[in-house]
Amino acid sequence: EACAKVIDGKAVAKKIREEIGAEIARMKSETGVVPGLAVILVGDRKDSATYVRNKKKACETVGIKSFEVCLPEDSAEQEVLKHISEFNDDPSVHGILVQLPLPSHMNEQHILNAVSIEKDVDGFHPLNIGRLAMRGREPLFVPCTPKGCIELLHRYNVEIKGKRAVVVGRSNIVGMPAALLLQREDATISIVHSRTRNPEEIIKQADIIIAAVGQPNMVRGTWIRPGAVIIDVGINPVEDAKSPKGYRLVGDVCYEEASKVASAITPVPGGVGPMTIAMLLSNTLTSAKRIHNLP
């Protein structure tokens, strides 16, 4: 039986971290500039705390200075805005990231708008998203997860131009920007979402599938055109009595079935996840270079 090539996001991310680390070391010694990333965490969601910890650790490994603000769940929106404003003005900070989701009493739009677009390393500011959507305009930053998906396609020499791509999911942070990026690369895109009728018929036409749904194993082997390339963004915990934690992580695509039909596929975990953090580091380095006018 045919077996898809595994797109090893973990290995690619490691290579990118090494490239970034070397560049930062050179930059430090030649110019004294040290890139800085500020992270704001509100509340005590366990998953958010883990993401923030991983981002901080990754910064250390490449030589990015990290700044962290942790605020209690019941903080006022004004408090978050105050920290954003301080980081906007702080010349040692080149990237500002507000960990989502925010507590429900806060206005996410209000807060994301407050981040200076020059330091918007998550790429969530509406101006950056707007530029991403427009021909002939360049966003200062592209959101990390979709950027990581495209980077994987590039590093595995998957041709995008002229291909049919289907993005499953249309969230602001993954699906929508992924579709915009594929379109910028001259793919013909379709977007499948929760109101799409017969999603399998549309997905079956895809040369490239990016799945970002949050539904374990939703995309089945029979939905996939033979030879398609699959980027699975989903991270879904499912019960597993055999695992010491009592659960394991699976993607939005049924890996076991899909790997028999596709030509290449990302595993979960070890696919897109590590790329997201690598792209955050990359965006932070780019920002430091731009702010200090370095080549």
- Footprint of ligand NDP (CB under 6 A): 145, 168-171, 173-175, 192-196, 199, 212-215, 218, 233-236, 272-273, 276
Nearer to ligand NDP, 39 or 192 (CB): 192
Q: How far is the CB of 236 from ligand NDP (least distance, A)?
A: 5
With CB atoms as reference, the residue minimizing the distance to ligand NDP is 171
Omega into 226 within 30° of 0, i.e. cis? no
Task: Reduce the DSSP state of residue 1 to 3 states and report it.
Answer: coil
Nearer to ligand NDP, 75 or 196 (CB): 196
CA distance 147 to 156: 14
The answer to whether 106 touches 137, Cβ cutoff 8 Å, is: no
**Nearer CB in complex with ligand NDP: 75/190:** 190
For ligand NDP, give the closer residue by CB, 158 or 173. Answer: 173
Q: Is the bond preceding 146 in cis, omega lying within 30 degrees of 0?
A: no
Minimum CB distance to ligand NDP, residue 64 (Å):
18
Which amino acid is residue 35, in one-letter code? P
Phi then psi dihedrals of residue 201, to 5 deg: -65, -35
Q: Are 41 and 83 in contact (CB under 8 A)?
A: no
Provide the residue type at 205 as one letter.
Q
* Helix boundaries (H) for the chain: 9-31, 46-62, 77-89, 108-114, 126-133, 144-155, 175-184, 199-203, 255-258, 272-291
Q: Smallest distance from the beta carbon of 133 to ligand NDP, in angstroms? A: 17
Q: How many CB atoms lie within 10 A of CB 260?
A: 15
Nearer to ligand NDP, 45 or 193 (CB): 193
Q: Side chain identity at 293, as an amino acid letter?
A: N
Least Cβ distance, residue 191 to ligand NDP (angstroms): 8
- Residue keyed to tokens 């918007």: 120
**Measured from the CB of residue 250, what is the shortest distance to ligand NDP in angstroms?**
10
By the 8 A CB rule, do 260 and 221 touch? Answer: yes
204, 268, 182, 295 alpha-carbon torsion, rounded to 10°: -160
As annotated, the active-site residues are: 55, 99, 122
State in angstroms the smallest separation of the CB of 293 from ligand NDP: 31
How far apart, in Å, are the Cα atoms of 195 and each of 168, 191, 198, 199, 200? 11, 11, 9, 9, 13
